[in-house]
Amino acid sequence: MTRRLTVAAAQLGPIQKAEGRDVSVGRMVRLMERAHQRGVEVVVFPELALTTFFPRWYEEDIAAADDWYETALPSNQTAPLFEAARKYNIAFHLGYAEKTPDGRRFNTAGFFHPSGEMVLKYRKVHLPGHKDYDPVRTVQHLEKRYFEVGDLGFPVVRAPVGGAGPVNVGMLICNDRRWPEAWRVLGLQSVELVMLGYNTPSLNQDNRGFEAHHLRVLHSHLSIQAGCYQNACFGVATAKAGVEDGHELFGHSIIVNPQGEIMAQATSWDDELITADLDLGMCELGRSTIFNFAAHRRVEAYGRITGQTGAEAPQDWAPSAG
Ligand code: CDV
């Protein structure tokens, strides 16, 4: 029997620093309504979807950043989103800043059943940027200040989703998409659907050499398409896009199939819903042939992947004597 799932990437346009959750949640509810009209069963919202991308703003005292974090979900402010999910019977992925009861801070994503129960939680592992104010940068990227490295690994769970029956779902967050190791850990758990949200500036703000504008989108798509192909899974990758307080994030949200093909792509830098009908059976071809891991992986040759972090210099070649 064909296992079909209708999914959406719910791209969000910019959220300004001064705008509260009433604004972002209201927009997300409207996207949920549109998703319902199109028969969508899973909606994927971006990374840190409820607020502006606040790691660009420096706070000396981290407690002054508390307003950006969620201590509970749902909360009074996010309740309308959960009500919409229940009303329309739509599961959803939400990126948010998490502050735990013992004061730990993570860049987190939750996958929620339409009932509002959290099915799976993921905390971002690959945190880009820096911890302290960097005077060389034109814009700060303080994820290493505001978040701890995720402590949940890369979990995958098999859960009933929409009308497809059980689906193997996993998540990545933004910068994670550039790391093949992260995708492969999901692939090794037979992931079928990877949900990921991102906030990516249109310019490389590291100020260390030139990177052409158009390559920013290329690198994003290249990573997601390769991840899906090499792990025989679908990917729904959703951007926060547009100009937030003068700082530009690119959109180009995409839905990708296990062949690495783009099935749908956003064309605006605004709130936009793109959808695709997934045939989950498509995952079988890759995982039973070229990416049949059990048959073809050679872990004895992969020691450096987990045994070493930074790159080392190779051995020098020398001509043999005589
Ligand atoms: N939010 C992110 O993780 N952004 C990074 C940027 C800073 C390069 C990304 O990989 O898209």
Q: Where along the chain do its domains lie?
A: 4-307
Looking at ligand 1, which atom is closest to the CA of residue 205? 7
Among candidate residues 227, 176, 228, the one with its CA nearest the CA of residue 197: 176
CB 273 within 8 A of CB 8: yes
Residue with the two structure tokens 């992925």: 93
**Is the bond preceding residue 80 a cis peptide, omega within 30 degrees?**
no
47 among known catalytic residues:
yes
Mutate which of 130, 175, 208, 249 for ligand 1? The one with the most ligand atoms within 8 Å of its CB, which is: 175
* Entry pTM: 0.97
Percentage helix, strand, coil for the chain under 3-state DSSP, each rounded to 5: 30, 25, 45
Taking only the tens place, the pLDDT of each residue in 85-106 is 999 999 999 999 999 999 999 9
Give the right CATH number for 4-307 from 3.30.450.20, 3.60.110.10, 3.40.605.10, 3.40.50.280. Answer: 3.60.110.10
Catalytic residue status for 124: yes
Average pLDDT over residues 203-213: 77
All residues at 6 or more sequence positions from 276 whose CB lies less than 8 Å from its CB, including other chains: 6, 7, 255, 263, 264
Q: Assign 130 a pLDDT band (cuts: 50, 70, 90).
A: very high
Of 125, 136, 109, 214, the C-alpha closest to 177 is 125
Kindly report the average pLDDT of the chain as a whole number: 96
- Give the residue from 243, 245, 244, 263 showing the smallest Cα distance to 253: 263
* Distance between CA atoms of residues 7 and 236, nearest Å: 8
- Is residue 232 pLDDT above 80, yes or no? yes
70 alpha carbon – ligand 1 mean position (Å): 21
Cα distance between residue 101 and residue 95, in whole Å: 19
275 bridge partner residues:
8
Secondary structure letter of residue 301 according to DSSP: G
Identify the residue whose C-alpha is closest to ligand 1 atom 1.
199
Give the binding-site residues of ligand 1, using a 6 Å CB cut-off: 47, 128, 141, 174-175, 178, 198-200
Active-site residue identified among 121, 124, 228, 240 = 124
What are 1-35's pLDDT values in tens digits? 899 999 999 999 999 999 999 999 999 999 999 99
Measured from the CA of 200, which atom of ligand 1 is nearest? 11
Alpha helices for the chain (secondary structure H)? 21-37, 79-88, 143-146, 180-187, 213-230, 283-288, 293-296, 303-307
Instruction: Point out the least confidently predicted range of 39-48, 55-64, 209-218, 229-238.
Output: 209-218
CA distance 229 to 291: 9
Pocket test for ligand 1, best of 56, 122, 198, 224 (most atoms within 8 A of CB): 198
Told to judge if 83 belongs to the known catalytic residues of this protein, a careful annotator would answer no
Among 121, 174, 244, 272, the active-site one is 174
pLDDT level of residue 214 (50, 70, 90 thresholds): confident
